[in-house]
Amino acid sequence: MREALRLAGLAVTLLASVLWALLAARTPTTTYHVVPLMVAAAWPAIDGSIGAGLTQRRSVNAALGGFVLTVATATILGVKGDLDGPTLWLTQGTGAVLVEHVAFAAVGALAGFIHAVRMAGTVPGGERASRASGAVAAARSRLVWGVGTFYRPGMPDLLVEKRGHVMIATMNRPQRKNAMTLQMFGRMRDAWKEASDDDDIRCIVLTGTGGDFSAGMDLRSLAGDADEHDDWDVKGAMAEHGAAWIYEGLTKTYRPTKPIIAAVEGVAIAGGTEILQGTDIRIAAESAKFGVSEVRWSLYPAGGSPVRLPRQIGYAEAADILLTGKHITAAEAKAMGLISRVVPDGTAFEHALEVAEIVAGNGPLAVEAVLRTMHETSGMTEAEAWAHEEAYANAVMQSDDAKEGPRAFAEKRTPNFQKK
């Protein structure tokens, strides 16, 4: 439906432009020349918002803002030229008029499209609506988010926002497939600590811009090829904490008390797969790729994979990935148990946010207690794990929320949990 709407809009736009061009050639006035520019330039702004996958209010705002930009651009160009001077050579004949319209409309349309894409860039993860699956959708996702970030210079390499009870952390280096830097690790550590300390946050979504999750550590950055300035104080953190904060950011030595849901598009290679193992629910697009390829470059995967991966997917599968450095598909990762769900390309964030809202709607004390038990009992015997969980279970069952849940069920209403 979305693709049909875009194609129909484009066809109508082109037809309107040609008809107005024919009319303008017979009635050479400024009005007749400016109006078709507005018509021809307006659609790409709307198309930009549809392609960016914005939803509801943001989509309307993007389309209206883009339309204003296109109209303003076309009007300024048309009135300033007044179809004389610099543009006179284009106004000789119907074909030339059409060329003039296309030229003006292209400028206006670019302004509108950039506006729509920048609107998309204000939403980490994109609120991307469902799009056609496969390579076309993946390419569109990369195009939209690459352009959106390109026109938003100076943004940090990790964007953090709070939406209701959900924290959204978005890796934001699309020009390098969200390759990780020390500054990004620092911001991740800060985000995880903030989520743990904030009782209003009940779940976290981790994703990336530009159609990719993360290509791992930025080796060029380590080699001194840093492509941007960052004001996060790496030296200060090193002086105060040593290198411990790096592994906390990677979720190797610290995991927040709130569940992390990973939304994976594109590549999740090396550090991308390593940090994935520190998340709890993992949702991946069909064309996503995974792998821990450090050995190919004579590096050690210090983000935890040699220990975690065999425990999560089994020794033989882990050895095959870790020792060959091979990459695997989303379907293979799902079969191994590395990820939770596979969804159509371009929809991983949308699905992750839906799951996050479900988790956030559950009893927060119960969710945190279950999560701690899962994190802390790995490697214990069953008897040891049951003894360990007893204190968590008792605390939850004695809480006010444990009374509110059954009461709400009996009264057929949504429970109002207070984390008490």
Q: What residue ranges do the domains of the chain occupy?
A: 2-121, 155-361, 364-410
Is 381's pLDDT higher than 80?
yes
Choice between 127 and 337, residue whose per-residue pLDDT is larger: 337
Q: What is the pLDDT of residues 99-133, one digit of tens each?
A: 555 565 555 555 555 555 544 443 433 333 333 33
Which of 1.10.3470, 3.30.70, 3.30.519, 1.10.12 would CATH assign to domain 364-410? 1.10.12
Contact 90, 99 (CB under 8 A): yes
pLDDT band at 18 (very low <50, low <70, confident <90, very high): low
Contact 208, 214 (CB under 8 A): yes
Residue 168: other Cβ atoms inside 10 A? 24
- Residue showing tokens 């990780």: 180
Is 383's pLDDT higher than 70?
yes
Angle value at C-alpha 417, between 411 and 418, nearest 5 degrees: 140
Q: Per the CATH hierarchy, to which homologous superfamily does domain 155-361 belong?
A: 2-enoyl-CoA Hydratase; Chain A, domain 1 (3.90.226.10)
Q: What is the pLDDT of residues 255-267, one digit of tens each?
A: 999 999 999 999 9
CA distance 201 to 81: 55
Per-residue pLDDT averaged across 32-58, rounded? 49
Q: Is 56 exposed, middle or buried (0-12, 13-18, 19+ CB in 10 A)?
A: exposed
- Average pLDDT of the chain, as a whole number: 76
pLDDT of residue 142: 36
For 84-93, 143-152, 322-331, which range has the lowest pLDDT when averaged over its residues? 143-152
CA distance 207 to 263: 5
Q: What is the pTM of this model?
A: 0.66
Choice between 101 and 282, residue whose per-residue pLDDT is larger: 282
CA distance 346 to 263: 10
pLDDT of residue 56: 41
| Residues known to be catalytic | 274, 294
